[in-house]
Amino acid sequence: MEPNPPKRKEPRKSLRVKVISMGNAEVGKSCIIKRYCEKRFVSKYLATIGIDYGVTKVQIRDREIKVNIFDMAGHPFFYEVRNEFYKDTQGVLLVYDVGSKESFDSLDSWLAEMKQELGPHGNMENVVFVVCANKVDSGKLRSVDESEGRLWAESRGFLYFETSAQTGEGISEMFQTFYSAIVDLCDNGGKRPNSGAGIGFTREQADAIRRIRNSKDSWDMLGVKPGATRDEVNKAYRKLAVLLHPDKCVAPGSEDAFKAVVNARTALLKNLK
């Protein structure tokens, strides 16, 4: 009997996806997109007016994807223009400037704006977010270090990349991983696969590290009221030590946070009888 002729592999259907950029004005959203699509960098700041739209085709594994990119203006003035572009989005480039703490602190409000515009039935869970810590080339003093940015991103199940639109550092890797995750999302029926899983640390650990970093003194660091007793200090310390012990916690920045907690306890106990 004749063996069956080999089945011809059907080319997989090409995909069409929508991607938007978010982040404060001047953090480099347009330059990141330009660096990837046009391989060039413009050093003069040309603020995006409302929205810039572009289409690009990329090959991810055996798939061709057609990406519609909506590059948003970061300035609050353009809120009215950008608010209608949030819906039906598969991927978000969430950008901040590593030299601007304010742009990093604003990331939460960008998520809030998107959530509000998507309304009660919108689902942010099924969107791929990539956080770009941009301008890593800049000689300017860095005000947000890698572990802080990575922690913010990964504790939310977001991708994280250090990028420079100026030198091109991290840009191709970032887009490649980002688009690949979007393809996985589409192949998974529009649901983010393993969202939040597999990062190896919990939201509670991430929140504790962030709180410790931002604490104003040793009391605050341990999460006790000024003037707390020796027992209260020790209890708070033990709880944080279990949560953040380097043998147990792999969250970025956990080692420094653990050391800070040990030092805070020592300093407080010295002055407590």
Is residue 103 within 8 Å of residue 27, measured between CB atoms? yes
Q: Which stretch binds ligand GTP (CB under 6 A): 6-14, 158-166, 217-225, 228-236?
A: 158-166
Q: Tell whether residue 30 is a contact of Mg ion (CB under 5 A).
A: yes
Q: Residue 75: name its binding partner from Mg ion, ligand GTP, none (Cβ under 5 to 8 Å by kind).
A: ligand GTP
Q: Residue 45: name its binding partner from ligand GTP, Mg ion, none (Cβ under 5 to 8 Å by kind).
A: ligand GTP
Rounded to whole angstroms, what are the CA distances from 218 to 4, 232, 251, 262?
75, 13, 22, 10
Q: Tell whether residue 43 is a contact of ligand GTP (CB under 6 A).
A: yes
Q: Residue 192: name its binding partner from ligand GTP, Mg ion, none (Cβ under 5 to 8 Å by kind).
A: none
Is residue 168 within 8 Å of residue 217, measured between CB atoms? no
| Residue closer to ligand GTP (CB basis): 138 or 180 | 138
Q: Which of 212, 254, 258, 209 is nearest to 238 (CA)?
A: 258
Can you tell me which of 56, 83, 138, 143 binds ligand GTP, judged by CB under 6 A? 138
51-60 and 63-72 as β-strands: parallel, antiparallel, unpaired?
antiparallel
How far does Cα 88 stand from its chain's mean position?
20
| Residue closer to ligand GTP (CB basis): 18 or 34 | 34
Q: Tell whether residue 113 is a contact of ligand GTP (CB under 6 A).
A: no
Rounded to whole angstroms, what are the CA distances from 130 to 71, 81, 91, 157, 247?
14, 23, 8, 9, 28
Q: Tell whether residue 27 is a contact of ligand GTP (CB under 6 A).
A: yes
Q: Tell whether residue 103 is a contact of Mg ion (CB under 5 A).
A: no
Q: Sign of dihedral through CA atoms 109, 184, 168, 51?
A: negative
Q: Tell whether residue 93 is a contact of ligand GTP (CB under 6 A).
A: no
Alpha-carbon distance of 123 to 146, in angstroms, equals: 28
Site track 162-181 with ligand GTP (rule: CB under 6 A), x = hit: --xxx---------------
Q: Tell whether residue 30 is a contact of ligand GTP (CB under 6 A).
A: yes
DSSP 3-state of 257 = helix
Can you tell me which of 45, 53, 77, 79 binds ligand GTP, judged by CB under 6 A? 45
Q: Residue 241: name its binding partner from ligand GTP, Mg ion, none (Cβ under 5 to 8 Å by kind).
A: none
| Residue closer to Mg ion (CB basis): 48 or 89 | 48
Q: Tell whether residue 25 is a contact of ligand GTP (CB under 6 A).
A: yes
In this structure, what token pair is assigned to residue 101? 């703490």
In this structure, what token pair is assigned to residue 106? 């604003």
Alpha-carbon distance of 174 to 58, in angstroms, equals: 13
Binding site for Mg ion (CB under 5 A): 29-30, 48
| Contact set with ligand GTP (CB under 6 A) | 23, 25-31, 42-43, 45-48, 73-75, 134-135, 137-138, 164-166
